[in-house]
């Protein structure tokens, strides 16, 4: 089996089997992966990382080497957070059953979670993954609108089920978009009027759907456009876009799987920075700090028709352990002031990156909010995917874990656990400047 | 909002809000559920059960009343099994990261799991839910065959993503089947030649798909036809059906989400009883004893094209905690001889049901294998959905948890944790005969 990473595999930072400088143990593990897990799995890095332990912002290999994690947003309150682990273990030792029996845990968590949302968003449904949450949102949007048309951004990622994969252009040409899906450019912060441009693009997609006899059902956006390259600003673009899809009878979904749960610093959810009210909000990755729990928050009128026609049961979704674990995560975010830390450390970190960008031409645009930052890697001002890959792998050699993203694959994606400190940021900036000094 | 359980909600044993004899605490919980979780959620029973604790085959309400669990197959090795809980907690306290880094846990589990499959089934991919596993199977089948046609049985259930929900007729008329989906009758054990009839039905569906210009991609069956009413026998029906779909260029998927992991007693997987070799096998519910882990086992040629065109990454799927938890479940199944117990206790339990059926006309057909049994509830020999509902609720009053299934909703579905003992079975039979004695 051969594959061409340049065309069929658009994933930045994917390991190419046979390359890299793996030791004998890791070489054997790669071979076992290929023979056991098959060809659709990908490892990160030119030389993949072998991990055995995590603690806070640090991950460890079998030799005890510590890697600074500046990438993993799942372990959002820190790897192996003791409070989350014991909440999970305690509930698992007590009861782990589902939502067809009465249990207080799922209700207490739903109340606590919904307390973080503006008033009209008062219902929540639980799934196990962000993919399932977005997939459910599609089903609900079809029932509520009677339409099927979906609008996404040009390098969006919304998940891996059949229905959301066909709304995820970032999966590449090997995964075709659905005939009812239109992809529009992500907002361009350098446009004269980014909000007007983005709303016009949404409107053009609506017009094109209608011209094809397809009724628009859903505008689905990651509220920071993570996989498009992270466009956190300006925060004026979502409200007019949401108004446009609503005028056409469709709904607006805020995909908060990446920005949500305080990462933005200024707000719990990315949509709040835009002063827009979504019809539905999907949640995932950091919700259980690694435990598979996700959800969809809704305005009640949106779910009325789906609830009339269908029932929804997700065997593991919202089970007692998921609720207890997610509750502990929310408590840690609140009690340890992690949203505030994201704001403060993120601002300092971003300033440091901006300062480096003045000294090194390889660093182009610096973007981001809170603890979700991006640095474009360029050569002569142009996107340089290969150079970004060199940098990502050089940082890995310096024991800093990161990856690249964006349509051009040239954007460093900096998205550490929210317990990331100013010292951690300083460490990252120091190593990065060392590497840039070598002329990479 | 009104709904009509008879038409839009085909779920047997669903609670109807406003009915039942709930105490004040539970009445308040039901109201909170409606205001927090919305209208698509369903509770079990005329009077829902409020649970706070589980241990082995027992579930407990807040007053300490013990309910014998004869329904829940997720907690397959017993509720709150200490060995499973500590494996999960220990790994969560160590590392919980994903499959893009090298980690031994997922490989060790994959090896152990695949050791339970016949030779050509050598690859496994991990998801979080059975729905995701079946959804992935659909994507893979489309890539491998170039077709889209799917054949399922008339009251099949394969999951809740948009793509598998449209292959799940048991979700009712409110959830339409896809235009590329054909539903055929489940095997009829009373037919003159059940295998020939079932194969002919598969062939007729193939012909109809082709007549509509749809290339067949997948025959998808629960290998015990759980939601059709549990047709474990005869075990001759799957091989000719698999041959028929393969002749038409399609693949055969064994959905083992319900029968798998030893429940059948005689074999680890339902397909093995039929002496048939599937192209893909989906796994779910009992795999992590409540932890959200599921998977898809494949013959390598099936995944070649999908692996060439696409990558697959499931953030939580196959993470280190999922692997450690699932590994503990396999160990418990092996070390506690649970497959043997399913065979032995199941045989005794079935004999007891058959004996009761001779005395009580309300009990019709008794079916099943291992610890998955079914008893049709009839009046004058005809399916009686209302009587089945009365029995299910009467058993709940006797503190035995069970539910009903099948196209007519008149089949008692007996599917306890695999640690179920002969004493537990005797307890069930005793209470059931007491209820039947009252003329129910």
| Three-state DSSP state, A252 | strand
Interval B384-410 mean pLDDT = 96
Asked if B292 and A128 come within 8 Å (Cβ–Cβ), the reply is yes
Cα–Cα distance measured from residue B241 to residue B195, given in angstroms and rounded to the nearest whole number: 8
What is the model's pLDDT at position A3? 32
Residues of B in contact with A35 (CB under 8 A): 122
* Position B6 pLDDT exceeds 60: no
Asked if A94 and B14 come within 8 Å (Cβ–Cβ), the reply is no
Cα–Cα distance measured from residue A411 to residue A365, given in angstroms and rounded to the nearest whole number: 9
Cβ A368 vs Cβ A374: under 8 Å: yes
Shortest Cα distance, chain B CAs vs residue A70, angstroms? 14
**Which residues 317-376 of chain A have a CB within 8 Å of chain B?**
317-319, 321-322
Choosing among B72, B310, B399, which should be mutated to test the A contact, i.e. which has the most A CBs within 10 A? Answer: B310
Q: What percent of chain B has pLDDT over 70?
A: 98
Q: Where in chain B is the domain with CATH 3.40.640.10?
A: 82-335
pTM over 0.95: yes
Task: Tell me the residue ranges of DSSP E strands in A160-260.
Answer: 181-184, 216-222, 251-255
Task: Using a CB–CB cutoff of 8 Å, tell me whether B175 touches chain A.
Answer: yes
Asked if B30 and A102 come within 8 Å (Cβ–Cβ), the reply is yes
Asked if B308 and A32 come within 8 Å (Cβ–Cβ), the reply is no
Task: Using a CB–CB cutoff of 8 Å, tell me whether B121 touches chain A.
Answer: no
Q: CATH number of the domain at A49-77+338-437, please?
A: 3.90.1150.10
Closest CA to A113 of A321, A261, A256, A224: A261
What is the model's pLDDT at position B381? 95
What is the model's pLDDT at position B2? 30
Q: Where in chain B is the domain with CATH 3.90.1150.10?
A: 49-77+338-437
Minimal-distance CA residue of chain A relative to B291: A316
| Three-state DSSP state, B364 | strand
Asked if A59 and B97 come within 8 Å (Cβ–Cβ), the reply is yes
Task: Using a CB–CB cutoff of 8 Å, tell me whether A49 touches chain B.
Answer: yes
Residues of B in contact with A107 (CB under 8 A): 29, 32-33, 36-37
**Along chain A (440 residues), what's the average pLDDT of each consecutive run of 10 residues?**
40 88 95 95 95 98 98 97 98 96 98 98 98 98 98 98 98 96 97 98 98 98 98 98 98 98 97 98 97 98 95 94 98 98 98 98 98 98 96 97 95 98 98 94
**Which residues 208-227 of chain B have a CB within 8 Å of chain A?**
none
Choosing among A66, A128, A180, A304, which should be mutated to test the B contact, i.e. which has the most B CBs within 10 A? Answer: A128
Pairing of the two strands A372-379 and A411-414? antiparallel
With b for 16 or more beta-carbon neighbours within 10 A and e for fewer, the A93-123 pattern comes to bbbbbbbbbbbbbbbebbeebbebbeeebbb
Cα–Cα distance measured from residue A315 to residue A317, given in angstroms and rounded to the nearest whole number: 6
Residue in the block written with tokens 């669990």: B69
**N- to C-terminal Cα distance for chain A?**
33
Cα–Cα distance measured from residue B77 to residue B83, given in angstroms and rounded to the nearest whole number: 10
Minimal-distance CA residue of chain A relative to B174: A309
Asked if A125 and B44 come within 8 Å (Cβ–Cβ), the reply is no
Minimal-distance CA residue of chain A relative to B130: A315
Residues of A in contact with B318 (CB under 8 A): 37
Cβ B185 vs Cβ B155: under 8 Å: no
Give the DSSP letter string of A29-45. HHHHHHHHH-TT---BS
| Three-state DSSP state, B231 | coil
Residues of B in contact with A129 (CB under 8 A): 128-129, 132, 314-317
- Number of other residues whose CB lies within 10 A of the CB of residue A227: 24
Asked if A74 and B315 come within 8 Å (Cβ–Cβ), the reply is yes
Shortest Cα distance, chain A CAs vs residue B151, angstroms? 17
Alpha helices in A175-311 (DSSP H): 194-211, 238-247, 270-273, 300-309
Task: Using a CB–CB cutoff of 8 Å, tell me whether B134 touches chain A.
Answer: no
Choosing among B31, B64, B96, B176, which should be mutated to test the A contact, i.e. which has the most A CBs within 10 A? Answer: B96
* Position B54 pLDDT exceeds 80: yes
Identify the sign of the CA torsion A360, A362, A366, A370. Answer: negative
Cα–Cα distance measured from residue B424 to residue B157, given in angstroms and rounded to the nearest whole number: 29
Residues of A in contact with B79 (CB under 8 A): 95-97
Minimal-distance CA residue of chain B relative to A291: B316
Pairing of the two strands B181-184 and B149-153? parallel
Residues 6+ apart with CB under 8 A from A180: A148, A149, A150, A209, A214
Give the DSSP letter string of A90-157. HHHTT----TTSB-HHHHHHHHHHHTTS-TT--EEEEESSHHHHHHHHHHHHHHHHS--EEEEETT--
Total beta-carbon pairs less than 8 A apart between chain A and chain B: 348
Query: What average pLDDT is seen over chain B?
Result: 96
**N- to C-terminal Cα distance for chain B?**
33
User: What phi, psi does A79 have (nearest 5°)?
Assistant: -60, 135
Asked if B14 and A128 come within 8 Å (Cβ–Cβ), the reply is no
Tokens for A274, please give them.
């835009």
Q: A126: alpha, beta or left, given left = phi > 0 and alpha = psi -120 to 50?
A: beta
Closest CA to A182 of A236, A144, A220, A147: A220
Residues of A in contact with B319 (CB under 8 A): 290, 292
Minimal-distance CA residue of chain B relative to A141: B162
Cis peptide before A234 (omega within 30 of 0): yes
Q: Is A439 exposed, middle or buried (0-12, 13-18, 19+ CB in 10 A)?
A: exposed
Asked if B43 and A101 come within 8 Å (Cβ–Cβ), the reply is yes
What is the model's pLDDT at position A9? 54
Cβ B187 vs Cβ B202: under 8 Å: no
The arrangement of strands across the sheet holding A149-153 comes to: A123-127, A294-298, A280-283, A251-255, A216-222, A149-153, A181-184
pLDDT, tens digit, for every residue of B150-209? 999 999 999 999 999 999 999 999 999 999 999 999 999 999 999 999 999 999 999 999
Q: Is domain A82-335 classified as CATH 1.10.3720.10?
A: no
* Position B12 pLDDT exceeds 90: no
Choosing among B11, B38, B319, B415, which should be mutated to test the A contact, i.e. which has the most A CBs within 10 A? Answer: B38
| Three-state DSSP state, A294 | strand
Cα–Cα distance measured from residue B332 to residue A135, given in angstroms and rounded to the nearest whole number: 34
> What size, in residues, is chain B?
440
* Position B8 pLDDT exceeds 60: no
Residue in the block written with tokens 């996404």: A152
Cβ A116 vs Cβ A334: under 8 Å: no
Cβ A202 vs Cβ A246: under 8 Å: no
Give the DSSP letter string of B250-302. -EEEEE-TTTTTTTTSS-SSHHHHTT---SEEEE-GGGGBTBS-EEEEE-HHH
Cβ A252 vs Cβ A219: under 8 Å: yes
Closest CA to A294 of A124, A40, A408: A124
**Which residues 271-290 of chain B have a CB within 8 Å of chain A?**
284-285, 289-290
**Which residues 75-114 of chain A have a CB within 8 Å of chain B?**
75, 79-80, 82, 84-86, 88-89, 92-104, 106-107, 110-111, 114
Shortest Cα distance, chain A CAs vs residue B433, angstroms? 26
**Which residues 56-75 of chain A have a CB within 8 Å of chain B?**
59, 72, 74-75
**Which residues 394-423 of chain A have a CB within 8 Å of chain B?**
none
Shortest Cα distance, chain B CAs vs residue A289, angstroms? 9
Cβ A80 vs Cβ A54: under 8 Å: yes
Asked if B93 and A80 come within 8 Å (Cβ–Cβ), the reply is yes
Tokens for B169, please give them.
């007729």
Residues 6+ apart with CB under 8 A from B262: B76, B268, B333, B338, B339, B342, B370, B418
Instruction: Return the CA Rg of chain B.
Output: 21
Asked if B290 and A124 come within 8 Å (Cβ–Cβ), the reply is no
Q: Is B239 exposed, middle or buried (0-12, 13-18, 19+ CB in 10 A)?
A: middle
Residue B101 gets which letter from DSSP? S
Tokens for A116, please give them.
């973080």
Minimal-distance CA residue of chain A relative to B127: A129
User: What phi, psi does A61 have (nearest 5°)?
Assistant: -90, 175
Q: How far is CA A83 from the centre of its chain?
A: 24
Task: Using a CB–CB cutoff of 8 Å, tell me whether B41 touches chain A.
Answer: yes
Residues 6+ apart with CB under 8 A from B39: A303, A304, A307, A308, B1, B3
Identify the sign of the CA torsion A44, A49, A55, A56. Answer: negative
């Amino acid at each position: 089996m051969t594959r061409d990473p340049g065309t069929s595999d658009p994933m930045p930072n994917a390991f190419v089997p046979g390359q890299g400088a793996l030791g004998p143990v890791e070489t054997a593990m790669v071979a076992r992966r290929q023979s056991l897990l098959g060809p659709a799995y990908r490892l990160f890095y030119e030389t993949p990382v072998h991990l055995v332990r995590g603690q806070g912002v640090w991950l460890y290999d079998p030799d005890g080497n510590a890697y600074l994690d500046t990438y993993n947003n799942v372990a959002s309150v820190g790897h192996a957070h003791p409070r989350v682990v014991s909440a999970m273990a305690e509930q698992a030792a007590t009861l782990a059953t589902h939502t067809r029996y009465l249990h207080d845990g799922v209700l207490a968590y739903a109340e606590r979670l919904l307390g973080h949302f503006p008033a009209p968003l008062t219902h929540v449904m639980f799934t196990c993954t962000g993919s399932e949450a977005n997939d459910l949102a599609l089903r609900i949007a079809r029932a509520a609108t009677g339409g099927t048309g979906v609008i996404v951004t040009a390098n969006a990622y919304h998940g891996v089920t059949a229905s959301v994969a066909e709304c995820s252009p970032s999966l590449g040409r090997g995964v075709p978009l659905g005939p009812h899906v239109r992809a529009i450019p992500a907002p361009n912060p350098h446009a004269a009027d980014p909000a007007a441009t983005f709303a016009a693009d949404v409107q053009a997609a609506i017009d094109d759907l209608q011209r094809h006899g397809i009724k628009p059902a859903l505008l689905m956006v990651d509220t920071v456009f993570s996989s498009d390259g992270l466009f956190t600003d300006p925060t004026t673009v979502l409200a007019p876009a949401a108004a446009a899809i609503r005028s056409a009878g469709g709904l607006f979904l805020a995909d908060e799987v990446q920005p949500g749960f305080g990462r933005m610093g200024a707000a719990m959810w990315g949509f709040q920075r835009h002063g827009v009210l979504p019809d539905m909000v999907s949640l995932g990755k950091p919700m259980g700090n690694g435990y598979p729990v996700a959800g969809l928050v809704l305005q009640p009128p949106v779910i009325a028709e789906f609830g009339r026609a269908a029932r929804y049961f997700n065997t593991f979704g919202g089970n007692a352990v998921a609720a207890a674990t997610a509750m502990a995560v929310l408590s840690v975010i609140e009690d340890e002031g992690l949203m505030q830390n994201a704001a403060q450390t993120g601002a300092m970190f971003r300033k440091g990156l901006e300062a480096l960008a003045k000294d090194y031409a390889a660093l182009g645009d610096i973007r981001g909010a809170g603890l979700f930052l991006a640095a474009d890697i360029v050569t002569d001002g142009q996107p340089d995917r290969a150079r970004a890959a060199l940098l990502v792998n050089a940082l890995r050699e310096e024991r800093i874990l990161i990856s690249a993203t964006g349509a051009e694959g040239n954007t460093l994606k900096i998205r550490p656990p929210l317990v990331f400190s100013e010292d951690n940021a300083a460490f990252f900036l120091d190593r990065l400047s060392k590497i840039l000094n070598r002329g990479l």
